[in-house]
Amino acid sequence: MITFLIGILILIIGYFTWGKIAEKIFVPDDRLTPAYANGDGVERVPLSSKRNMMLQLLNIAGMGPIVGVALGIKFGPIVFLLIPIGNVIGGAIHDYFAGMISIRNNGADLPTLIKKFFGRFAGGIFVVFVSVALLLLVTTFTNIPANFIANLLPFGTAVLVISIIGIFAYYIISSIFPIDKIIGRIYPFFGSLLILITIIVCIALIPQAGLIPDLPLSAEGILASFTAHPEGQPILPMLFITIACGIMSGFHATQSPVVAKTIRHEKEGRRIFYGMMIVEGVIAMIWAAATSILFTINPETLSISNGNTILTTAVFTLLPYFLGVLAIIVFIFLAITSGDTALRVLRTTTAEFLHSDQTKVRNRVLTVLPFVVIICGLLIWSNLSPTGYSVLWNYFACFNQIIASCALLLATAYLACKAKPWIITAVPAVFMSFICLTYLLWSSPEHIAGVPFGIGLPLEVSYVISVILAVILCAGAVICGRRLSKKSDFEPDCPAKYPEE
């Protein structure tokens, strides 16, 4: 219990200290934001600060900080410290700079920014990379809520098929409509439900708070935490791949530009981008505590490998039945709020890269149509294949954190270009690059169940190679930023077109 409370305190203090430092380094000012300077009535629409906070929270949260920690808490109580520390100096920094740099570049999506700072070739590769990751995410977050619905209602298979069709149809409609017409209106309601059910779970934890495990305050206890996983998974890299959204997630770097297009003032950035990641960290901590109580009460549940099953079991163990059903309904909404904006970003990213005008409905439909066809194929395959879900999730988790590394390297190049303290993004960039490289070098069917292939190097060898490559990548980003600063025709901030007087 003490470790959990210390973690919550780290998150709160982090917002008011490290978040303030990040803001002072970036220096938000009074320039017009894209919503005002280049409003288009579709993506660049000014929304209130409160609405943007809920929009950002639902964009980045979804099921990520809940499913991820349900699996991640298997690593033991050290998670209660790694979530907040990683969130404050890594994940929230990642989200803040991804959003603020986008604001300074007319709400540009991440691949466009990668192309600007690292060249057309890197941008081309990255837009394909992001597209694949988002395709996997949309497919996964169509299946997750559909399966929850099928488990709640009779006639499982029929309900599953109808749910998949209905949810995906909503994604398509939502991605085409202007952001303030559907997403901007329903997200505050969904956000309120997320906060409500989290508060209910937090209250339910109080009588059983003594069952929340604490990290032993000794060298032996801390070292033992690194090998505490029941399946023997190493905490580096697996914890940071498993608990994606609660600590850091590249998906957030694709979603922050959505809000960057609707924000009214740059000075709202800290509470929207940094602050909502802190809130997500608190949510992750509460669900990690709930799952840890389940594992304490019933150690046999540690052998469950499906995060959805763990969550369902925890909810009905801690809550009365009707509140458990409410929690499952909230989970369904949360998964849907990840899928709809992911498909939207697929459309806007592709349109930016192809310079396609999205103010016309016809263009928006034509842009999203190829992705609809691909996702339909993935949905059919993933539901017919017995290992389809796990394969999709493993690949998405890996792609997700590679995107986070790229976003932090971009922020490092940006700060270096502006001669600002780039160390604030370079440290998490090196660490997350190390995590991703280690995962790629070490993972294989022999090391991780559900991974169809991989390099499979020994863990120690993977560590050494990954550290060297991560430092080289970060150094390259700094050098790239400094070189760009010397080009007379390069401007790291590309203001939106100001309206004519």
DSSP 261: T
- Residue 83's contacts (CB-CB under 8 Å, 6 or more residues apart) are 7, 69, 243, 246, 247, 281, 284, 285, 288
pLDDT range class, residue 1, cuts 50, 70, 90: confident
Q: Which domains does the chain have, with CATH numbers?
A: 2-20+30-391 (1.10.4160)
Please give the pLDDT value at position 52.
94
Tokens 């009214």 label which residue?
264
**DSSP 3-state of 94:** helix
DSSP-assigned states of every residue in 454-473? -----HHHHHHHHHHHHHHH
pLDDT per position as a tens digit, 171-219: 999 999 998 888 888 888 887 888 888 889 999 889 999 999 998 877 7
Q: Compute CA distances 244 → 109, 168, 187, 241, 286, whole Å.
A: 21, 24, 22, 6, 16
User: Does residue 453 have a pLDDT over 80?
Assistant: no
Mean pLDDT of 405-412: 97
* % residues pLDDT > 70 (the chain): 97
Nearest to 260 by CA among 108, 117, 110, 406: 108
pLDDT per position as a tens digit, 124-183: 889 888 888 899 889 988 988 898 888 888 877 899 999 999 999 999 999 999 988 888
Please give the pLDDT value at position 498.
45
Backbone CA torsion sign across 208, 213, 217, 218: positive
Residue 385 gets the label, from left (phi > 0), alpha (psi -120 to 50) or beta, of beta
Please give the pLDDT value at position 181.
84
CB distance 293 to 208 below 8 Å: yes
Q: First and final CA of the chain: distance in angstroms?
A: 60
pLDDT per position as a tens digit, 273-292: 999 999 999 999 999 999 99
Separation CA 37–CA 39 (nearest Å): 6
User: Does residue 461 have a pLDDT over 90?
Assistant: yes
Tokens 């209250």 label which residue?
203
Please give the pLDDT value at position 500.
44
Separation CA 278–CA 9 (nearest Å): 11
CB distance 422 to 481 below 8 Å: yes
pLDDT range class, residue 496, cuts 50, 70, 90: low
Separation CA 120–CA 126 (nearest Å): 10
* % residues pLDDT > 90 (the chain): 58
Separation CA 134–CA 338 (nearest Å): 10
pLDDT range class, residue 28, cuts 50, 70, 90: very high
Instruction: Extract the tokens encoding 319.
Output: 């809550």
Please give the pLDDT value at position 185.
83
User: Does residue 304 have a pLDDT over 90?
Assistant: no
pLDDT range class, residue 53, cuts 50, 70, 90: very high
Instruction: Extract the tokens encoding 93.
Output: 């920094």
Instruction: Extract the tokens encoding 211.
Output: 């069952």
Q: Which H helix or E strand runs over 37?
A: helix 34-37
Mean pLDDT of 415-427: 97
Instruction: Extract the tokens encoding 24.
Output: 């002072």
pLDDT range class, residue 499, cuts 50, 70, 90: very low
CB distance 382 to 143 below 8 Å: yes
Instruction: Extract the tokens encoding 317.
Output: 């163990």
User: Does residue 497 have a pLDDT over 60?
Assistant: no
Q: Which residue has the higher pLDDT, 387 or 334?
A: 334
Tokens 């993977």 label which residue?
462
- Residue 473's contacts (CB-CB under 8 Å, 6 or more residues apart) are 405, 409, 429, 430, 433
**Backbone torsions φ then ψ of 47, nearest 5 degrees:** -120, 155
DSSP-assigned states of every residue in 193-212? HHHHHHHHHHHHHGGGGGGS
- In this prediction the pTM is 0.92
pLDDT range class, residue 366, cuts 50, 70, 90: very high
Separation CA 391–CA 151 (nearest Å): 22
Please give the pLDDT value at position 244.
76
pLDDT range class, residue 501, cuts 50, 70, 90: very low
User: Does residue 253 have a pLDDT over 90?
Assistant: yes
Q: Give the Cα-Cα-Cα angle 6, 53, 192 (nearest 5 degrees).
A: 80
Provide the Cα torsion 445, 451, 452, 456; round to 10°: -40
DSSP 73: G
Measured in whole angstroms, the distance separating CA 429 from the mean position of its chain's CA atoms is: 15
Provide the Cα torsion 12, 110, 72, 456; round to 10°: -140
Measured in whole angstroms, the distance separating CA 373 from the mean position of its chain's CA atoms is: 25
Q: Which residue has the higher pLDDT, 124 or 27?
A: 27
User: Does residue 117 have a pLDDT over 90?
Assistant: yes
DSSP-assigned states of every residue in 300-353? GGGG---HHHHHHHHHHHHS-HHHHHHHHHHHHHHHHHHHHHHHHHHHHHHHHH
